[in-house]
Amino acid sequence: MAVGPITSSILPPVVQEWYTGQGLRVALPKLNHARFGQIPTQFPQKSGTRAMFRRMEALPVNKVPIIEMTTPSPVSITYTDVYADLDQYGAWCKYSDKVAWTTQDPQISMLSRRMGENGGESLDEVFRDILLTTTSEYLAGAVALRSSIASKAVYTDFDKINRLLDNARATYIDEQVIKATTGVGTAPVRQAFYVLVHPDVKYDIDNTTNFPGFLHPSQYSDGGASALDGEIGAYKNFRFLMSDKEAVVIDSGAAIASTGLKSTGGVYNDVYQCLIFAKDAYGIVPLSGHSYETLVTPLEASHANPMALFGTVAWKAMTTLALLNETWMLRYECGATA
């Protein structure tokens, strides 16, 4: 049979184009919200779904002298119990036999990687949303209401927050001082609480006018070797980490007026919720053996898939987060420069 000339219009796409075999990278957030939590022994299976943390409170100071030959009354011991209910999370997707057999992409490995990223990002938001429920808050400029916030992040707020945490006897997460060296332009870094901030807030913190003495990780006396992933620097007893997962409450602050702050709607300031932690402020509760799983079902026949037309890739997790001591953490709310 006679045929016409072979042209690009009749060639299948696989011949028309050269494929590098490299999947394009996906922009991923920094996952910080589980990083500073206390993780006890994993929650045992077949033990229900509610975990309990118990704290024996500090004993009262006793300054009363003992009367000779008289046994004083015993001191009272008090406990605080904190409960957390396990929840299950997950997602899955299908891939067809045709795709698996004919495409150039390594489909299963790419899907598994994306599912793993999706699981981490999803749990990070779950933990963030629980952390944001804390009743311990400090509003920029020491205003009383979110609707009155008209200030960006400034060092004077953090000096006062440091005082609040000190008065609550909060313990630094990083209890090690990064000691001074002879490096030019470097400085020691103090014991620290950690702060999670949005990129818009980072813009204001990374400014020596707003935060005099702010150190970039490259200025740490160890050259930044101790910096965590996403760390943007330190101010006094605070070390800051950035993630675009930090929450923004749109148009919830004061009227823009001449504040120069960001506003989505153009009338009221957007409010950024930064999370500040001391040691043991919260805990992560993973279910033993099932805290996180990636599941790949190959192209196999089953009652639900009798012709083996598809396979699946999934992730699932059973875990939760508990606020253990809300006086050892704060939700700092502020605006951000437009």
Residue 232 clears pLDDT 70, i.e. is over it: yes
CA distances to 144, 158, 208, 213 from 161, rounded to whole Å, are 15, 5, 19, 17
Tell me the pLDDT of the chain averaged across its residues: 86
Candidate from 65-69, 107-111, 222-226, 258-262 with smallest mean pLDDT: 107-111
- State residue 28's pLDDT score: 57
Q: How deeply is 215 buried, as exposed, middle or buried, from its count of CB atoms within 10 A (0-12, 13-18, 19+)?
A: buried
State yes or no: pLDDT of 188 exceeds 60.
Answer: yes
Q: What is the predicted pLDDT for the residue at 6?
A: 28
pLDDT for residue 11 = 35
Mean pLDDT value of segment 180-185: 49
Phi, psi torsion values for 99, nearest 5 degrees: -65, -45
Q: Is 32 helix (H, G, I), strand (E, B) or coil?
A: coil
**pLDDT range class, residue 200, cuts 50, 70, 90:** very high
Q: Taking 60 as the threshold, does the pLDDT of residue 3 lie above it?
A: no
pLDDT tens-digit profile of 9-62? 433 444 444 433 444 454 556 789 999 988 866 788 888 889 888 889 989 898
pLDDT the model gives residue 10: 36
Asked whether the predicted pLDDT for residue 195 surpasses 80, the reply is: yes
Q: Which residues, 6 or more positions from 247, have their beta carbon under 8 angstroms from its beta carbon?
A: 128, 132, 198, 272, 273
Which residue stretches of the chain are H helix?
13-16, 97-102, 107-131, 155-167, 199-205
- Longest Cα–Cα distance of the chain, Å, equals 121
Give residue 187's pLDDT: 66
Residue 2 has pLDDT above 50, yes or no: no
pLDDT, tens digit, for every residue of 234-283? 999 999 999 999 999 999 999 998 789 999 999 999 999 999 999 999 99
Task: Calculate mean pLDDT across residues 162-181.
Answer: 81
Note the pLDDT of residue 157: 98
| pLDDT (tens digit per residue) in 126-141 | 999 999 999 999 999 9
pLDDT at 289 over 80: yes
CB 170 within 8 A of CB 278: yes
- pLDDT bin (cut points 50, 70, 90) of residue 177 is low
The DSSP-derived string for 43-72 is: BPTTS-SEEEEEEEPPPPP--PPPPTT-PP
Structure tokens at 179: 């000691």
C-alpha torsion 176→182→184→187, nearest 10: 20
